[in-house]
Chain A
Amino acid sequence: MIQLAVEEVTLQFGGVVALRDVNLQVEQGAIHAIIGPNGAGKTSLLNCISRLYHPTQGRIFFEGRDLTTFHPHKIAELGIARSFQNIELFRGMTVLDNLMLGRHVHLRSGVLSGGFYWGKSQREEIAHRAIVEDIIDFLEIEAIRKKTVGTLAYGLQKRVELGRALALEPRLLLLDEPMAGMNVEEKEDMARFILDINEERGITVALIEHDMGVVMDISDEVTVLDFGQIIGQGTPEEVRSDPNVISAYLGEQEVTFRPI
């Protein structure tokens, strides 16, 4: 089943065309990688899906609903979570609070019930804390749960950001370069988390990544963007041997991929 369908999306900033007639379909339960050189429009595409940008033309359907008609904050309620290329965590909050904020759309308390913190509101906090603790266990960040996020190392911050997105309990997870700037062990950990999220929790993952080894290893489907246009699409094997992709993205010379 197609979960996410990007149809004929064009995004223009004045005269600059960031995306041109992009068509993309993400299968439910798949790990779908979007690759391409810098400035190809990958992040712009993700921003269109999470409604930070409004496409000039075209529509985006998620489980049959047209995302372009929703406000940005409604996208989370529909079941789409994302992480950012440059970590966009709440730096002054603890890891726990960051993850609890991920539960925002599931929490019901308002100003009054929160301010008095009696009965129902307190029980709600505790119930959701248990869910968040599950995610903390899963991501192996128990030791830092009370630390302020701004003080954490880069690799851990990336993990916390993944945790915050998971706390939303999304059906589609958008990851913008989840492994950028990481060393090999950290990348292996992150790849393992992404695979587990996909298999155990059944969450569809759409990710942007530059590390070809990782992309070819974990993804079911790969889309290649260049200058705002899709130049190749298919399984990792198909994309790897696509002459368009090789010439446009990887250079004219023949390149061999080596998994890490």
Chain B
Amino acid sequence: MKLVIGLDGQSSGDKALAFAKNLAACTKDCELIVIYVIEWSPFSFQTAEENAQRHKRREEEISIAMERVVNPAVASLTEAGLSARAMVRHGDVADTIDDIAHSEGASQIIVARTSAGGLTSRLFGSSTANLVMNARVPVTVVA
């Protein structure tokens, strides 16, 4: 069985991680894929200077996310004797997690309930809400 864990870099993500850890411990041969998605749109507007430095920035963003969010999570899972690997991607959070879970043949996506309020999430919904509504793989939302 494969489980995809979507982290948001906040404490709520730790709850999702803990839930997945417990679930995996009860399951035989369970592989965990820990994902952090950096919100990014190919249709945003940037200055010429930002474009020229984009590749460098992207590499920096990925290495920071790996170092601070994903790698510690994978380390805690492997310490517990579980098989886990890390992924950092750019894109729309809900779409990207769904795409990876689908292409990896995962049986479940585990994410935290986002605490973000504000106008944006009222208008467009949070990433978790979008994932729940559109995912092609079952989603568990950890409160």
A and B: bona fide binding partners: no
